Amino acid sequence: MKRIEWNGLDAAGREAALARPMQSRAAALRDGTEAIIADVRARGDAALVELTARYDGAKLTALAVTEAEFAAAEARLPVELKAAVLEAAARIEYFHRAAAPTPVSVETAPGVTVERVLRPIRRVGLYVPAGGAPLPSTAIMLGVPAAIAGCREVVLCTPVQANGRCDDAVLFAARATGVTRVFKLGGAQAIAAMAYGTASVPRCDKLFGPGNAWVTEAKLQVAGDPAGAAIDMPAGPSEVLVIADADADPRFIAADLLSQAEHGPDSQVLLVSPSAAQLDAVEIEVERQRRELPRAEVAASALGESRLILVADLDEAVEVSNRYAPEHLIIQTENPRALLDAVESAGSVFLGEWTPESVGDYCSGSNHVLPTYGYARSYSGVSVASFQKQVTVQELSAQGLRNIGPCAAILAEAEQLEAHRRAVTLRLAAMDAAA
């Protein structure tokens, strides 16, 4: 891991110190994704079957998961795994219901009522990766808020294995959240199918979920097409930033850093501390624990782009974190909540030594679909609100228009929008004539 002394850097050095690994949008990736999307749009299911055979090695006669396949997947799963999925889903539902937006109705002036009503997005598409490793937790994180929001139709795509099956745990998790339309599709072709629709896959209004570079590129392309679909957020590789004081346990810190580093070679992990001794201890502990991991080489690649940053104090550590805007922020200090008010930009925050990032990934109740690559400066993680539209409503009585109409007329005149002004003044004149 690269060692950095923050106060020894100039502005350019600080920017370089917090740079993410280069996110590849090479011409080959862009062009290849564009070609896949065009093929799916032109040939529909036939293209999906051919692409699935080419990339996943599965020759499909049908794209949709059947009732018998759902039942068989559930029967094959260990009882303890099914129980864990249901436990996590219940906890995630509990938090997401409590945090969901609520309707609002206020009287902004006598006779003037303004409301906010909530409407679910009609049809949403969920993508659950299963390339390097299946992610049933993502099915929960997306399916639960979609159900709470009341989306009428929920479609889920997940890659198929060479044996023609989708991952058993992903299918069980999807069904546990009420998702019954699952398609054996992965990669850019799955995103294209949900964005534009085919004979088998319905066209969706908004797409959700993480994925590899091809999935990410496909989401960006369909989101930029007026005929495509909206997406939850831009995404990049997974990341974590840990703020630690001298008394934090280096074993815990190392474990948290490695839990993100094992995601992939382009993941990034940072430790920010005012204690040089802590940085030393964590560096040693990271290497010791890394060698014990099944994905040790993947973690090693990620650590090559990671940072150990020495700062003057914890206040400066928070400043560094806000500048980086991490997907996950872990604060392991004597009084972590004392720093929380100063945190401005982070996808999700984990306070204290007994709060590993892993619990947020699986079962604490928060959502693990979060903004990465610095997008936490302006985006939030997935929630019930992500699956809803907030529609404002206003209703005026005659007296209400008398009260605020002159204000609207003056502003319309200032903007030289005469029809706007007359839409108000004609009504006011009609009131006067009837009086």
- Enzyme catalytic residues: 327-328
Please check if 260 is assigned to a binding site.
Answer: yes
Please check if 283 is assigned to a binding site.
Answer: no
SS3 sequence, the chain?
CEEEEHHHCCHHHHHHHCCCCCCCCCHHHHHHHHHHHHHHHHHCHHHHHHHHHHHHCCCCCCCECCHHHHHHHHHHCCHHHHHHHHHHHHHHHHHHHHHCCCCEEEEEECCEEEEEEEEECCEEEEECCCCCCCCHHHHHHHHHHHHHHCCCEEEEEECCCCCCCCCHHHHHHHHHCCCCEEEECCHHHHHHHHHHCCCCCCCCCEEECCCCHHHHHHHHHHHCCCCCCEECCCCCCCEEEEEECCCCCHHHHHHHHHHHHCCCCCCEEEEEECCHHHHHHHHHHHHHHHCCCCCHHHHHHHHCCCEEEECCCHHHHHHHHHHHCCCEEEEECCCCHHHHCCCCCCCEEEECCCCCHHHHHHCCCCCCCCCCCCHHHCCCCCCHHHHEEEEEEEEECHHHHHHHHHHHHHHHHHCCCHHHHHHHHHHHHHHHHHC
Please check if 262 is assigned to a binding site.
Answer: no
Question: What's the first-to-final CA gap in the chain, in angstroms?
Answer: 80
Please check if 328 is assigned to a binding site.
Answer: yes
User: What are phi and psi for residue 334, nearest 5 degrees?
Assistant: -60, -40
**Based on the number of CB atoms within 10 Å of its own CB, is 429 exposed (0-12), middle (13-18) or buried (19 or more)?**
exposed
Please check if 189 is assigned to a binding site.
Answer: yes
Please check if 225 is assigned to a binding site.
Answer: no
Token pair 């404002």 is at which residue? 392
Q: Which residue, among 252, 323, 299, 236, has the nearest Cα to 15 in the 3D structure?
A: 323
Please check if 212 is assigned to a binding site.
Answer: yes
What sign for the dihedral angle of Cα 310, 311, 313, 315?
negative
Please check if 163 is assigned to a binding site.
Answer: no
Please check if 96 is assigned to a binding site.
Answer: no
Binding site for substrate: which residues?
Answer: 238, 260, 263, 328, 361, 415, 420
Binding site for Zn(2+): which residues?
Answer: 260, 263, 361, 420
Binding site: which residues?
Answer: 127, 189, 212, 238, 260, 263, 328, 361, 415, 420
Binding site for NAD(+): which residues?
Answer: 127, 189, 212
